[in-house]
Amino acid sequence: MDFAIRPVAADEYDILGEITAQAYLRDGLLDFGDDDTYLGELRNVGKRAAAAQVLVAAADDQVLGGVTFVPSGGPMADIARPGEAEIRMLAVSRPARGRGAGEALVRACLDRARSVEGCTGVVLSTQLAMRSAHRLYERLGFVRTPDRDWNPLPELDGMTLLTYRLTL
């Protein structure tokens, strides 16, 4: 499939927000479904774009998916340490899955990280159920970092996020 990886345009915020929200909802990744408060964060692309780099995969002027790249020390980082960039909220629409858009988005983040002076690695958090994403990350050279696994909602037992790191 031919597509381009580029920064999200302001008029695409709602489209990418809905792609991201629906990916999490339809894959059963939100504990509270349609009532999950994280849906607001997933849909708020404008907020992410103001604090980090939001990239999209697009074909024929249609957004297929997107990712948030947080450069070293960025305000949207959850687990990045000094000298690390972070990837967040990778999502591809169902019809576009399996065509390489997700991999291209991750590779674009890796390219950006390599251009950040002093950046020595890229980290990310993922859910246990995101097995196809795990395979993608491992194929690209990411390794599990179980010592960095964390729970964004400590009041919810079993919400542990798995972490991965790629050394640049």
Domains and CATH numbers, the chain: 4-167 (3.40.630.30)
Beta-carbon neighbour count of residue 18 at 10 Å?
A: 16
Residues written for the chain: 168
Question: Has this prediction a pTM greater than 0.85?
Answer: yes
CA angle 98, 101, 104 (to 5 degrees): 125
Do strands 84-92 and 143-144 pair parallel, antiparallel, or not at all (unpaired)? unpaired
Q: How far is CA 55 from the centre of its chain?
A: 10
| Percentage of residues of the chain with pLDDT beyond 90 | 80
* Per-residue confidence band for 31, with pLDDT thresholds at 50, 70 and 90: confident
DSSP string spanning 15-67?
HHHHHHHHHHHHTT--TTGGG-THHHHHH-HHHHHHHSEEEEEEETTEEEEEE
**Model confidence pLDDT, tens digit, residues 101-158:** 999 999 999 999 999 999 999 999 999 889 999 999 999 999 999 999 999 876 666 6
Q: Taking all residues of the chain, what is their mean pLDDT, rounded to a whole number?
A: 93
